[in-house]
Structures are given as C-alpha cells and as structure tokens.
C-alpha cells in the first residue's frame, strides 16, 4: 500500500511513540497524512488549535535544537503549552527515579511527555507508570520522530516509497536503526553502508528485515548503485567519546561529490542534523543544490504536531 491511497482513520492504536517497531504501516501513514494536512494548514495561515489547554512536558537529558524548538513551537501552534524540563534543572538529574518523576507528573494533569534520553528503558518506564502518552525524542537506540520527518521528506521528494532506494552512510546508531525499521515498513529499499565494526546491531537488522528490504554492507559501490537518497549522521553521537580509530574507519564513508556521482542523477542528500562538515559530509554536498536537509528539519515540526495531535487529542 502506498501513502497516496491510504484512507485516514483519525486515530492510532498505539498510546505512545517509543519506537517505530510498534507501528504498523497504516499507523505510519496515519501520522504522515495528518502531518501533510497540518503543514498545509500552517502554510495557509489557518488556525488548527486542536490541543487547546493541553500541556506537553519535554524532558531533555541531552542537548537539542530541532527537537526542542519544533516540539515547543508545535504544541503552541496546536493551542497547547510546552513545559521544558532539562535534567540539569529537575531532580531526575540528581538521581530521582523515572518512576517517582512520572508518578508526580501524573498528579499535575500533564497531557503528554516527550523525553530525550540515553537508555530506551527509561522511555519504557515512563510509559509503564505514566497515565499520559510518551514520545521518544531520541534515545541511544532510536529516533522515531526524526525518521517520520524523513519519510515525509522522501515522500514529498519522490511522491512514493516503493522502488526508492535510501542509502545511509556511516555509524550504525539510533538514526540508522529507526531508518531501517521505518523505511522497511513503508517499502523503501534501505541500505546501511559503513565499516563492519560500526554496523547496526544484528538483532535490529534482523527485526527490520521482517518488515521489508534492508541491506547492510561495507561496499560503497553497492550502496551507491541506483541510490535515490543518500543519508548521513555524525560519526559520534551525543554521549559517545570521539576516538581516532572510529573516525579513521568512518572517513571513507563520507558523503562527498565523488560518492554522489555514483548514485542516480536526481538523487538527494539528507541528514538529521546537526552536521559536521568535512567529516560525515562535505560542504559541497550539504550546501549543494541536491541537499534537502532544511526541508527535512522543517518536517520535524509538522510530523511531531501530527504525533501530538493523534496521541494527545
């Protein structure tokens, strides 16, 4: 099934967004169709205050520009209010447990929680003890909001998912994991290309393969062949210490003009951002005419508004 033929239901079966593994292709399309509609309303300047009076608590244990600003602005555009909670300021950062934190939030009529954290298990714990929807704003293992925005961006660029090949170059971390799962579900041909020692965990690859076509390779030519979307992420994710061995291993997988020339002539470049020019991507590519990284960043806003609307309404 393609997104164009999907009939909206106006609801999700899931109560939370912890990872895309829990989402069916229909639910992913529900979010994407809603996001396209909300983007249209936003561009037309039409009010869409569907979450009037609702509060989203946003807990950050790691830094953020896009996630923080797009959730904060998104809930406001929907008529609700954001509550920014940096772990540096709340007792969670001084070892109060997730369990106690969420029990307290339960008492204050918080309507939703977005959390950016290290361990995926903390999100699971929030979902277990909280009486509100929980949204993963990035963990060490997954970045589902990013990948929903990425899927929306690929759809806007190509008008379909089937037959589109997306090759991710570099470190097999949180973004690669979510891309494999979300991409395979909607029918993208997903290839993750990098040195074997930094490849995604085999159990996540095996799981993603149950949903669709996923290739993992260290062969740049294989990844570049018939590629429509090149994607990269930083060598060192937040919380990882930079080390020369990893940098040396990942450098050959840099997305540069030479690599782009081996892909389809109308291929596009995507990156979750923030980017390190001269490392995982060159300036000529990320600032070049085939880069759609800022469309992609913009879609974080629209897609997360759809997620909040569908989970919190």
Q: Is 300 a catalytic residue?
A: yes
Contacts of the segment 33-40: beta carbons below 8 A, 24+ positions apart:
33/3, 33/6, 33/8, 34/8, 34/306, 34/309, 34/310, 35/148, 35/152, 35/299, 35/302, 35/303, 35/305, 35/306, 36/152, 36/302, 37/306, 38/302, 38/305, 38/306, 38/309, 39/299, 39/302
DSSP helix/strand/coil, 177: helix
How many helices (DSSP H) and strands (DSSP E) are in the chain? 12, 9
Q: Is 233 a catalytic residue?
A: yes
Q: Which of residues 122-141 bind ligand CP (CB under 6 A)?
A: 138
Binding mask 258-297 for ligand NVA (x = CB under 6 A): --------------x-------------------------
User: With CB under 6 A, what is the number of residues at the site for ligand NVA?
Assistant: 9
Q: Which of 42, 64, 73, 256 binds ligand CP (CB under 6 A)?
A: 64
Decide: is 215 part of the binding site for ligand NVA (CB under 6 A). Answer: no
Binding mask 225-244 for ligand NVA (x = CB under 6 A): --------xx--xx------
Q: List the catalytic residue out of 77, 233, 254, 304.
A: 233
Q: Which of 41, 83, 90, 273 binds ligand CP (CB under 6 A)?
A: 273
Decide: is 66 part of the binding site for ligand CP (CB under 6 A). Answer: yes
For the four alpha carbons of 5, 182, 305 and 272, in that order, the dihedral sign comes to negative
Give the shortest CB-17-to-ligand NVA separation in angstroms: 16
Per partner kind, with CB cut-offs from 5 to 8 A, the member of ligand NVA, ligand CP, none near residue 164 is none
The Cα–Cα gap between 31 and 33 comes to 6
Q: Which helix (H) or strand (E) holds 232?
A: strand 229-232
136 within 8 A of 18, measured Cβ to Cβ: yes
Of 17-25, 86-94, 170-178, 224-232: span binding ligand NVA (CB under 6 A): 170-178
| Binding positions for ligand CP, rule: CB under 6 A | 64-67, 138, 146, 272-274
| Binding positions for ligand NVA, rule: CB under 6 A | 138, 173-175, 233-234, 237-238, 272
């Amino acid at each position: 099934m393609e997104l164009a033929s999907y009939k909206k239901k106006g609801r999700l079966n899931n109560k939370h967004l912890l990872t895309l593994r829990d989402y069916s292709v229909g639910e992913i399309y529900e979010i994407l169709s809603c996001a396209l509609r909300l983007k249209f309303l936003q561009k037309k300047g039409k009010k869409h205050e569907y979450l009037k009076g609702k509060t989203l608590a946003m807990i950050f244990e790691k830094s953020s520009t896009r996630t923080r600003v797009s959730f904060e602005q998104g809930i406001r555009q929907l008529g609700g209010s954001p509550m920014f909670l940096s772990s540096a300021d709340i007792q969670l950062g001084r070892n109060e447990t997730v369990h106690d934190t969420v029990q307290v939030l339960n008492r204050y009529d918080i309507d939703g929680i977005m959390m950016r954290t290290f361990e995926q298990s903390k999100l699971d714990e929030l979902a277990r003890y909280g009486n509100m929807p929980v949204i993963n704003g990035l963990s060490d293992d997954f970045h589902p909001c990013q990948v929903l925005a990425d899927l929306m961006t690929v759809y806007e660029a190509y008008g379909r998912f089937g037959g589109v090949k997306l090759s991710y170059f570099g470190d097999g971390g949180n973004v690669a994991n979510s891309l494999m799962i979300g991409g395979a579900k909607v029918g993208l041909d997903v290839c993750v290309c990098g040195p074997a020692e930094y490849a995604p965990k085999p159990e996540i690859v095996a799981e993603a393969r149950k949903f669709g076509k996923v290739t993992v390779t260290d062969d740049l030519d294989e990844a570049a062949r018939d590629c429509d979307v090149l994607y990269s992420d930083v060598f060192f994710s937040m919380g990882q210490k930079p080390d020369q061995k990893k940098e040396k291993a990942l450098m050959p997988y840099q997305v540069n003009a030479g690599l782009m020339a081996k892909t389809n002539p109308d291929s596009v470049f995507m990156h979750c951002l923030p980017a390190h020019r001269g490392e995982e991507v060159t300036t000529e590519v990320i600032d070049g005419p085939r880069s759609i990284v800022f469309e992609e960043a913009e879609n974080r806003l629209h897609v997360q508004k759809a997620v909040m609307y569908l989970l919190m309404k």
